[in-house]
Chains A and B, each alone.
Chain A
Amino acid sequence: MGVKRRAFLIGGAALIGGGLFAVSWSETAATRRAAKLVGKNKAGVFLTWIRIGEDDTVTIFSPHVDIGQGSLTGLAQMAADELDADWTKIVLESAPVNDAFANAPLAKGFGGELLPFSIPPFLKGIAGSTFAMMARNIPLQVTGGSSSVRATGQLGMRVAGAAARRALIAAAARRLSVPEVELHTASSKVIHAKSGRSLRYGELAAEAADMTLLAAPRLKDAKDYRLIGKPIPRLDIPAKVDGSARYGMDVLLPDLRVATIMAAPVRGGKLESVDPAPAMAIKGVEKVVKLDNAVAVVAKGYWQALTGLRALSPKFSDGGHGALSSTSISAAQADKIKADKPDNKSGHGDVPAALASSGVKLVEADYAVPFIHHAMMEPFALTAHFKDGKLELWGGVQDPLHSRKAAAEAADISTDHVTFHPMIMGGAFGRRLPGYCEIIGQVVQIAKQTPYPIKLVWSREEEVQHGTYRPQASAHLKAALDKHGRIAGWTTDYAQSADATRETRFIYDIPAFALRHYEFATNQHDGAWRSVNSNQNGFYSESFMDELAHAAGEDPYQFRRKHLRPGSRHMAVLDDVAKRSGWGAPLAAGHGRGMAMVESFNTIVAHVIEASVGDDGRPRAHKVWSSVDCGLVVNPDGAAAQIMGGIIMALSSCVDEAITLDKGAVMQSNFHDYPLLRLAEAPDVDVHFLESDASMGGLGEPGVPPTAPALANAIFAATGKRIRQLPFRNQANSLKPVNVAAPIATSTSAKTPKPGFEPRALGPLEARTTA
Chain B
Amino acid sequence: MAIDAQVNGKSFSIEADPDTPLLWVIREELGLTGTKFGCGIGACGACSVHIDGEIARSCRIPVGSVAGKTITTIEGIAASDGTLHPVQRAWIDAQVPQCGYCQSGQIMAAVALIAKTGRPSPASVDRAMTNICRCGTYPRIRKAILAATGQAAAAARGDS
Contact = CB atoms under 8 A, between A and B. Distances in A.
Interface of A: 66-70, 233-234, 236-247, 249-250, 252, 258, 283, 301-303, 306, 375-379, 424-429, 457, 459-460, 637-638, 640-641, 643-649, 652, 670-672, 676-680, 682-687
Contacts of B133: 377, 679
B46 interface: yes
A241 B92 contact: yes
Contact of B134 (A70, A641, A676): A676
B9 interface: no
A652 B137 CA distance: 13
Given A243-B75, A645-B135, A303 B101 contact: no
B126 A679 contact: yes
Given A250-B33, A301-B24, A637 B95 contact: yes
Contact of A378 (B73, B98, B101, B141): B101
B101 A649 contact: no
B137 A641 contact: yes
B95 to A, nearest CB: 6
B1 to A, nearest CB: 12
B78 interface: yes
A301 B25 CA distance: 9
A670 B98 contact: no
A250 B101 CA distance: 11
Contacts of A637: 95
22 contacts: A68-B135, A242-B88, A243-B32, A243-B104, A247-B101, A249-B36, A250-B33, A306-B40, A375-B134, A376-B101, A377-B102, A377-B135, A379-B37, A427-B135, A644-B140, A644-B160, A649-B134, A670-B41, A671-B41, A678-B129, A685-B158, A685-B160
Nearest 9 A/B pairs, CB to CB: A243-B34, A68-B99, A426-B101, A648-B136, A240-B100, A684-B158, A682-B138, A243-B74, A645-B136
B10 interface: no
Contact of B126 (A258, A646, A648, A680): A680
Contact of A233 (B92, B98, B157): B92
Given A243-B35, A377-B44, A377-B134, 18 more contacts: A68-B97, A243-B33, A243-B73, A245-B100, A247-B36, A376-B101, A377-B99, A377-B135, A378-B36, A427-B99, A428-B99, A648-B139, A670-B40, A671-B44, A679-B133, A680-B129, A682-B142, A685-B158
A687 B39 CA distance: 32
A67 B99 contact: yes
B100 A68 contact: yes
B38 A378 contact: yes
B21 A303 contact: yes
B84 A242 contact: yes
B118 to A, nearest CB: 20
B100 A672 contact: no
Q: Name the residue among B34, B78, B126, B142 with the largest chain A CB count within 10 angstroms.
A: B34
B28 interface: yes
Contacts of B131: 678-679
A70 B136 CA distance: 14
B52 interface: no
Contact of A427 (B126, B127, B134, B138): B134
Given A237-B97, A258-B28, A460-B41, A377 B36 contact: yes
Best-buried of B29, B38, B91 by chain A (most CB within 10 Å): B38
B76 to A, nearest CB: 9
Q: How large is the interface on B (under 10, 10 to 19, 20 to 34, 35 or more residues)?
A: 35 or more
A638 B94 CA distance: 11
A649 B126 contact: no
A237 B98 CA distance: 8
Contacts of A245: 100
A386 B27 CA distance: 24
B96 to A, nearest CB: 8
Interface string B89-114: 00110011111111110010000000
Contacts of A302: 24, 28, 37
A682 B96 CA distance: 15
A678 B41 CA distance: 16
A641 B41 contact: no
Contacts of A649: 134-136
B140 A641 contact: yes
Contacts of B126: 679-680
Contacts of A648: 136, 138-139
B99 A241 contact: no
B139 A242 contact: no
Contacts of A70: 98
A652 B39 CA distance: 17
A582 B9 CA distance: 54
B73 A640 contact: no
A303 B20 CA distance: 7
A242 B78 contact: yes
A250 B134 CA distance: 19
Contacts of A378: 36, 38, 99, 101
Contacts of B158: 684-685
A643 B37 contact: no
B43 A671 contact: yes
Interface in B21-70: 21, 24, 27-29, 31-41, 43-44, 46
A252 B31 contact: yes
B21, B136, B157, B158, most chain A CB atoms within 10 A: B136
A623 B94 CA distance: 19
B84 A241 contact: yes
A62 to B, nearest CB: 16
Contacts of B121: none
Nearest to B138: A682
A649 B20 CA distance: 33
B48 to A, nearest CB: 12
B130 interface: yes
Nearest to B137: A645
A378 B33 CA distance: 13
Contacts of B14: none
A69 B107 CA distance: 20
Contact of B100 (A249, A252, A379, A426): A426
Contacts of B97: 68, 234, 236-237, 240-241
Given A241-B88, A645-B136, A686-B160, A303 B38 contact: no
User: Which of B44, B78, B99, B133 gathers the greatest number of chain A CB atoms within 10 Å?
Assistant: B99
Interface string B134-159: 11111111100000000000000110
A68 B92 contact: no
Nearest to A671: B43
B132 interface: yes
Contacts of B5: none
Contacts of A252: 28, 31, 33
Contacts of B46: 377
Nearest to A238: B92
A301 B29 CA distance: 9
A226 B35 CA distance: 38
A39 B141 CA distance: 49
A427 B101 contact: yes
Contacts of B38: 377-379, 460
Nearest to A650: B136
Contacts of A638: 95
Contact of B160 (A379, A640, A652, A670): A640
B135 A672 contact: no
A645 to B, nearest CB: 4
A508 B73 CA distance: 53
Given A243-B34, A246-B33, A424-B100, A237 B95 contact: yes
Nearest to B17: A283
Contacts of B99: 66-68, 376-378, 424-428
A460 B40 contact: yes
Given A240-B103, A302-B24, A378-B99, A643 B35 contact: no
A427 B38 CA distance: 12
A246 B84 CA distance: 19
A683 B159 CA distance: 11
- Chain B CB within 10 Å, residue with most, of A234, A240, A649, A652: A240
